[in-house]
Structure 1
Amino acid sequence: MIDQSNTLAFYNSNAHSFIEQTINVDMHLLYQPFIDNLPVRPPSQQKILDLGCGSGRDSMHFANLGFNVTAIDNSAALIDLAKAAAQQGMNHQNAIEWHCATFQDIVQKDWQRQFTAIWACASLLHVAYDELPELIDGLLHMLTDDGVFYASFKYGDSERVKDGRFFCDMNEERWEALKQKITAEFKDKTWLTTDRRADRNEEWYNIIIKNKGL
């Protein structure tokens, strides 16, 4: 069993450097397919859950487009710094609702059918593979009937610890096997991208899920 307990400690201890490395990364190649799949209604009538918001970069982007955003992270240090960054970087009146909470905390909240979209960029990769089906099922119940779910993982076929952080990698075979354990019915699309950070050449496995029939 791989120890996952140090991942939170890593983010709390390295919050400043993590935000410096990620807050200005150009994510438009991922934003666009996500936005293209959102329900056809004005942003002001939609709620996006940013799951594992980190620096707050993506929450700010969506809020600046007019979406209502709820930003979640388990690291209190990251949440505090992301809030401060948002106060400086917001050009839209929409406020971001911030929560310091675990993924399990979120699933326990009374948020069923509350969100038109969930954005889980490089966040569920810190969850053990065997725990993902139940967690994804719980998250899908938070979506409206026309809702959209995006997630990304480092491309690979293992679970590992690197620099104190636990990672669950994903590829085609692992995703297909995982899908069989998710009870909700949905359509999905997957594709590979390269890391947008200048010093990285890693590949990422991207997933968009929409409710069956949409």
Structure 2
Amino acid sequence: MYVKNHMLTKDKLTVVYLDEDMRSALKKIDEGDFLSLPVFDRSNFKGILMKEAIYRYYYDSDFCGNKSKFLDDVKVKDIYSINFKSIRENEPIEDASYLLNELRTPFLPVFDARNNFVGILTHKAIFDAFSEMFGLGEGTRITVNLLDVPGQLAKLTEIIRKENVNILNIAVMDAKIMDVYKVVIRINTKDVENIIEKIEKSGFKVEDVSK
């Protein structure tokens, strides 16, 4: 899964411009219920304007108490931030998830191989990508504890294959217990009980089952 498959493309964005005043910028922010917006100089991405930064600037400046003058006189270029990290459209979605979490940024600007701005990647897009990856809302979810022994995962999936059951997706996670891993499998079958019975008879521990 790549960034380009889940980003909001440039043509779908609401943006503000460097010379735009705060009255116009805040109107866009409030109408779209945004916390931040991309900042442009004509067609070039320049940075990020955050709603929180606008209010902080207002209360920390000489404009405090004169809202109308602030809205008309202060421009986006006076407040926007140029401190941002970006990502390439062909990078894995996992890399973007790490950056969003570590940087606490509202979104990541996305650029193509020629360094052209092509869109942004939001926290919601990351959530939707991982929901799709884990198949949330589909099939039956079975969590199995596996010992960290070569061949265990292959053995587990072979049990399911022999029952002619389709595996929608599979994820392996550290159980935080020495030599034990959790395997989360989503399967598409009406006879869930039969699969669980076969798994447990093969020596595996089924920890949880849910639809």
The TM-score range, normalised by the shorter chain, is under 0.3
Point out the structure with max Rg over C-alpha: 2
Which TM-score applies when normalising by structure 2?
A: 0.25
TM-score, with length taken from structure 1: 0.24
